[in-house]
Structure 1
Amino acid sequence: MRLIFAGTPEAAVPSLEALAASGHEVVRVVTRPPALVGRKRVLTVSPIEAAAEALGLPVLRAARLGAAETAELTALQADLAVIVAYGVLVAEPLLSAPRLGWINLHFSLLPRWRGAAPVQRTIIAGDRTTGVDVFRLEAGLDTGPVLASEPVAIGALETAGNLLARLAATGARVLVDVVDGLAEGTAVATPQQGEPTLAPKLVLADGRLDWAEPAEAVFARIRGCTPEPGAWTTVGDRRLKVLEAAPARETAPLASGAVALDGGRVLAGCGGDGAIELVRVQPEGRAAMPADAWLRGAGPDVVLG
């Protein structure tokens, strides 16, 4: 089949590469325009554009799909359009332009965690299982019937970044199977079942740690906000990023927000007499460092806010 592929971040790259290696023809890759990246704000093409160029595929940069973009994509007479984390709304008449419409690879088991940040939200919520769904794109937010689904267990120590990489690889395989099934006329879509939950994009404030919460919830938020938007707390009026943490067991009671050195471990107190271990941190305006090195410089009476 003739395919249009729309995507932007690194998580979409395995899907593009898998489709390019399949028996189908990717006639256009649609992605968001270059963005300013990193502390030096370097204008950088999206990971999907870089991958498309490496594969020799033509690219359309589009921050929105207006009349001009709709006309260009419609003229391609594609059989199917595939979207993976593109970040731009697809509306009519473009939604109906490909012969078989649009399908979307989503990194959760719908209808749980509809929206932009399903991987982060599922970890923060303490879910033990997530997965990938391929569904037919509709005008509603991730509401279309599901063509294929595969559950994935969430590791107890897994961050959002680690989990997303695993889901991207799994999803690429499932996506190609669905595209093959649509080409053969064997794919069947099933309406979503269950109570929907929403996964809006995380903002910086979502990464702030509340030390009055139980240790399990604090650790889940750290994992869910790593690497983006980043977990953080405060020491006085200065921000402290928590880059890496670990569960802490067999610890003496520690007040919420209190910090103590215990046998080489840097422990931070949480609600219910629990604690987590701080492994690697980054004080405001400084480089990342081991937590014990930070604590030696910060002094023995540190309180996390």
Structure 2
Amino acid sequence: MRLVFAGTPDTALPALRALLDSPRHEVVAVVTRPDAPSGRGRRVHPSPVAELAEEAGLEVLRPPKAGDPAFLERLREIGPDACPVVAYGALLPQSALDIPRYGWINLHFSLLPAWRGAAPVQHAVLHGDEITGASTFQIVKELDAGPVYGMVTEEIRATDTSGELLARLAESGAGLLAATIDGIEDGTLEARPQPAEGVSLAPKINVEDARVDWSAPAMRVDRLVRACTPAPGVWTEFRGQRVKLGPVRPAPGAADLAPGALAVSKNSVLVGTATHPVELGEVQPQGKRLMTAGEWARGVRPTDEDRLV
């Protein structure tokens, strides 16, 4: 099939590579978000998908909006049979959905209808799911509600961050998307409506959502930190200054501490929660480098009255 691939971040690269390597299909162009500032210097860079597409000699379309008339006209001229999508990052109007013969086929990182929305992997980790996966489905106007072509499952490990889990899903999902396009082309795969039961929503998790509540149980703190690693990044405050946190380790055998209270020893830095303490891993004080919790504690010398809040 003649394909136009839509995607933006690193997460989309395994799927794009799988389709570029497919002997059955031809990726003729990609659609991605406009170049944007990134990194410490905030220099404008193309998206990871745009960079890979340019290396492969593909046409790159960067519409400011997916309903842009010039973009829609160019897409009609290209005439794709289907548009596979992975983390494109913009809503598609019906005028765009109607162009490819077989529609837009999205790779979504959940077992639909669970966790529809922008942050399915983060919410699966945050809510303590044991199993998640990826789904391919036909995009319709309603968010992540189209009929499903196929799924793959993935175990959520006890120490998984959302970044680690997403990396595995991006790889297994790439194979699923390629197989879905194969099945659509040869007529062996039919999309089935999602069940009405089991719908859950996964809205974007912002920076304010990622602040640790030390009065929550240790399990909740652990899940929040893992869910928000690497983005948007979990944080707390110490002496009025923001401190970013890396993954923590629940310490159920340690002596109880008041929520937010610190216990520093030669081998660990513990913080109290509503249940048992958690052990800090890496921390990054405001305006400083990432360091171990031990290095941080030796520098700030917390007192019995100090708290993380």
Same fold (TM over 0.5): yes
Q: Note the alpha carbon deviations across 1:227-281, whole angstroms, 9 max, x for none.
A: 1100000012110100232222310111110111245111111112x11110100
Gaps of 5+ in 1: none
Partner of 2:121: 119
Matched, 1:248 2:251: yes
- Residue 8 of structure 1, CA deviation: 0.2
Partner of 1:225: 228
Matched, 1:132 2:134: yes
Percent of aligned pairs with the same amino acid = 46
Paired residues of 2:63 and 2:71 also in contact (CA < 8 A): yes
Paired residues of 2:222 and 2:247 also in contact (CA < 8 A): no
Paired residues of 1:14 and 1:168 also in contact (CA < 8 A): yes
Distance in 2 of aligned mates of 1:37 and 1:127: 32
Partner of 2:30: 29
Partner of 1:48: 49
Matched, 1:175 2:177: yes
SS of aligned partner of 1:93 = helix
Paired residues of 1:256 and 1:269 also in contact (CA < 8 A): yes
Gaps of 5+ in 2: none
**Correspondence for 1:271 among 271, 274, 278:** 274
Matched, 1:11 2:18: no
SS of aligned partner of 2:28 = strand
Paired residues of 1:231 and 1:243 also in contact (CA < 8 A): yes
Matched, 1:165 2:167: yes
| Paired residue type of 1:94 | A
- Residue 15 of structure 1, CA deviation: 0.4
Paired residues of 1:244 and 1:281 also in contact (CA < 8 A): no
| Paired residue type of 1:228 | A
- Residue 96 of structure 1, CA deviation: 1.4
Partner of 1:261: 264
Distance in 2 of aligned mates of 1:25 and 1:137: 21
| Paired residue type of 1:26 | V
Distance in 2 of aligned mates of 1:73 and 1:113: 30
Partner of 1:38: 39
Partner of 2:207: 204
Q: Give the TM-score taking structure 2 as reference length.
A: 0.96
SS of aligned partner of 2:169 = helix
Distance in 2 of aligned mates of 1:108 and 1:266: 35
Q: Note the alpha carbon deviations across 1:131-179, whole angstroms, 9 max, x for none.
A: 0000000001000011001111101001011111000001000000000
Runs ≥4 residues deviating over 3 A: none
Partner of 2:77: 75
Q: Give the TM-score taking structure 1 as reference length.
A: 0.97
Partner of 1:58: 59
What aligned pairs does 1:147-162 form with structure 2 within 5 A after superposition?
Answer: 147-162=149-164
SS of aligned partner of 1:244 = coil
Paired residues of 2:210 and 2:224 also in contact (CA < 8 A): yes
Paired residues of 1:63 and 1:88 also in contact (CA < 8 A): no
What aligned pairs does 1:94-109 form with structure 2 within 5 A after superposition?
Answer: 94-109=96-111
